[in-house]
Amino acid sequence: MQTAEIQRRWLTYFGERGHTVVPSASLVSDDPALLFTVAGMVPFIPYFTGVVPAPFPRATSVQKCIRTLDIEEVGKTTRHGTFFQMNGNFSFGDYFKEQAIAYAWELLTSSEADGGLGFAEKDLWVTVYEDDDEAIGFWKKIAGLPDERIQRMGKEDNYWSTGQPGPAGPCSEIYFDRGPEYGPEGGPAADDTRYIEIWNLVFMQYLIADVQSKTEFRIVSELPRKNIDTGMGMERVAFLKQGVDNMYEIDQVRPVLDAASALSRRVYGSDHDDDVRMRVIADHVRSSLMLMTDGVSPGNEGRGYILRRLLRRVVRAMRLLGVDSPSFPELFQASRLAMRDAYPDVEEQWERTSRLAVAEEETFRTTLASGTTILDLAVEDTQKKGAAALPGDTAFLLHDTFGFPIDLTLEIAEEAGLTVDRAAFDRLMLEQRTRAKADAKAKKRALADLSVYSEMRAAGETVFTGYDYLQTDSRVLGILLDGLPVDRAAAGEIVEVILAETALYPESGGQAADAGAIVGDGFELEVLDVQRPVKGLISHTVEVRSGEVAVGVPATSVVDPVYRHSAAQAHSATHLVHAALRQTLGSEAHQSGSFNKAGYLRLDFAWNQALSAETRSELEEIANNAVRDNLEVTTRILPIAEAKAAGAMALFGEKYGDTVRMVDIGGPWSRELCAGIHVRTSAEVGLVNLVSESSVGSANRRVEALVGLEAFRDLAAERAIVSTLTSSLKTPREQLPQRIESLVAELKAAEKKIAAFEASQLSGRVPALVEKAARVGGYLAVVEDLGTLSSADELRSLATSVRERLGSEPSVVALAARVGDKPAVIVATSPAARERGAKAGALAKQAATVLGGGGGGKDDLAQGGGSDTAAIGAALSGISATLAG
């Protein structure tokens, strides 16, 4: 049974039983505490917690998920994958345990001919929470399971919660027995390799508090509306139904594994290590394809970093299979063909995702070349020291800074006859993970408990009137102080205020929040920020400027009209620049992110090379021609399918409902899905001034522009600079470039002459310094204060020149000077001096300590500095005393 068929049967079964079929949400989670959608129930969390009223009593979905917590286990077990699909059925206060168990059992055990999944009843086991006698009773009643195939488990295994105060409850898991060849008898409690979990039913029936850990919490009460959250692992069921040993061999994954086998000419199944590598490749390629299809681009932070890590692990694994040439075109093509039937958007976004993948592979191959050079030097240094192990901090630096995989470091070190101090590396990795977890935990704690919005959201969605009005009368629904509800707020306090209606635009779609105020009888609130903390609710962060505001009182939201107009100019200009990019570079230059506020816009787009000055000029001209043409700006609300059919562009990473707002500028000239604020005609934008273009990743560029009055002010400032230059240089404006080029050439020539003169002057000082050489202890030493020099380089040049002139005797040169009002000291030693024990690094550090600073270096040449120029004499005397001793 193919994976797509399992998906079809699931949705059909529950759809026919009154469940609303909900399409998979994006892998990019709406939850600010999550980078990705990590479970099938994540999109439904607001309904389970009651923050947002559920729009349906029961639902079903097949949800795309990403988890990378156990990434090191990928390929080694039958069930660890970074991308997986969770088939779920959900009840929001509708049916509960008995019906959920009945649905699961019927779908699993009904014959394939009747639309079921066809599992034999004798092969299924269940686990239940140890105190849940009710669930055990239903399993016996519905499935007729004997006692020995129902196992009680503790909270660690069979109790669900978010890890935070809120809804929780026992769960019951269904396992499939693969047979004695896979492990010992005894059920899931004895062996979870033989007995594979395929379905988990969560009975969300309690409210918990005082959460200390997964097993330590206090049950406060039963929930007034009990919920059901179930999940069946698509990949696990697929590999069982397809008769293969693991999830990497199912129809949606195996083609990539086969492609890796063909490229490497290694036979899958003939070597354990190679098999693990091929499975890693197959899993990570699919995960990367799905992430990029959902708008994620490789980067150095957050989601982009995780995607980059997956891609680089693929490159590493292919290299360990002996493939040094580019392989992503073949690997990703195989994954595309395997996934496109289930997910048509894989095909729609293929040009973009394939370009991102190939560019990232090329970038990492360059990184590997650089990392290999650094590693080779480290290996050479380790061998010179006679050590057997490469330092762990070197391996960690390569991993953390250069993205150089530890397995590759181990391989190269082994080829050189070395090991790696893996214990030190692991310790540093653990420290990094601990810091990251602590940071994530702190961020999670910092997030307001969204349940505080429940009562306000229950009153209905906040009505946004800002498309048509700059002020709106309403009333205060709620006030939050430090994340907790309060009845009122007084002057000087910063609070969140929720209104029933508002004209103030909340930050979204790349547009910054409106500026403005909320006023009422006896109070005035300055608006600092406007956000959507939960779906359908708009919250205003305000400072109470005067008076006192209370829950329930009338209030009027007032938009700053100057700021709003300038922000609308910038947002419309973003659309103009995006259209200009696509007109200039082609449809591949797709917007991948944006931000705009009053007078400013930033737009990221898919492209892998810098734009020429001519291209930037052309973009600017196209955008401003659109301004000149006074194109009409219109908005329409329509079904998303209709908008896409009309050619509307959607921003990657943005979430769209069934109905969308489409913004046209000049009809189809610019047509995008957008909820932002816009001008009425393009002429209102005023002026677009591109001020920068830069890289934001291996396959993404960024343009920034000033808009309207801000653009004019910037150009006026440039005009003032040009005017000053023409006056100072007595040169007409059109001749300024040639005049400045001539002056720069003259300056460089003068600098060369000065440098030659200074070098000659320095060389002239060497003989006099050599004549001052004197016996100090067993050394021929030159210890001198040279007064003031222009740079430490001059001091270093003198020290090495004097050392060379002193010949083969044990000699030490210690020179000091004032460089830029700071003391500097250079120490140089000859080979014979070093053999007698004189180390330049130690001597420089000693002198720098006296100077009130720090220093050090190699045994032959070192430098130091400090802050006390008056101590130069004492520092040099200390060096002489050390040599004498």
Note whether 480 and 439 are within 8 A (CB).
no
Tokens 């009338």 belong to residue: 554
In angstroms, the CA 64 to CA 87 distance is 9
> By the 8 A CB rule, do 507 and 531 touch?
yes
For 385-451, where are the alpha helices, taking DSSP H only? 392-402, 406-415, 422-446
Binding site, annotated residues: 571, 575, 674, 678
Q: Is 62 helix (H, G, I), strand (E, B) or coil?
A: strand
The first and second tokens of residue 414, run together, are 């082994």
User: Do the beta carbons of residue 21 and residue 202 sit within 8 Å?
Assistant: no
Q: Residues comprising the binding site for Zn(2+)?
A: 571, 575, 674, 678
Q: Which of 526, 473, 522, 470 is nearest to 497 (CA)?
A: 526
Report the half-sphere exposure of 102 (CA within 13 A, side-chain side).
9
Residue pair 483/452 in contact by the 8 Å Cβ criterion: yes
| Partners of 783 in beta bridges | 814
Q: Taking a C-beta distance cutoff of 8 angstroms, is the pair 816, 785 a contact?
A: yes
Rg, C-alpha atoms of the chain: 35
**The residue type at 640:** I
Phi-psi bin for 857: left (phi > 0), alpha (psi -120 to 50), beta? Answer: left
Q: Give the Cα separation of 311 and 286 in Å (integer).
A: 10
- Written as one string, the DSSP assignment of 774-835 is EEETTEEEEEEEEEEES-HHHHHHHHHHHHHHTTTS-EEEEEEEEETTEEEEEEEE-HHHHH
Name the burial class of residue 17, with classes exposed (0-12), middle (13-18) and buried (19+) by CB atoms within 10 angstroms of its CB.
middle
Q: Are strands 523-531 and 494-499 parallel, antiparallel or unpaired?
A: unpaired
CA 182/CA 329 separation, integer angstroms: 37
**How would you class 245 by CB atoms within 10 Å of its CB: exposed for 0-12, middle for 13-18, buried for 19 or more?**
exposed
CA–CA dist 685, 629 (Å, integer): 11
Residue 16 corresponds to which tokens in the numbers above? 């026919």
Element (H, E) at 367: helix 350-384
Yes or no: say if 837 and 804 are a contact pair by the CB < 8 Å rule: no
**Beta carbons of 348 and 652 less than 8 angstroms apart:** no
How far is the C-alpha of 642 from the C-alpha of 648, rounded, in Å? 9
- Indicate left, alpha or beta for 599 from its phi (over 0: left) and psi (-120 to 50: alpha): left
Helix 97-109, helix 133-143: angle, nearest 10: 40
- In angstroms, the Cα distances linking 20 to 91, 337, 532, 535 are 10, 29, 26, 19
Q: Following CA atoms 184, 190, 192, 195 in sequence, which dihedral angle do they give, to the nearest 10 degrees? A: 60
Q: How many C-beta atoms lie closer than 10 Å to residue 340's C-beta?
A: 16
What six digits make up the tokens of 702? 């960024």
- Under 8 Å between Cβ of 649 and 673: yes
CA distances from 528 to 443, 494, 512, 569 (A): 22, 9, 11, 21
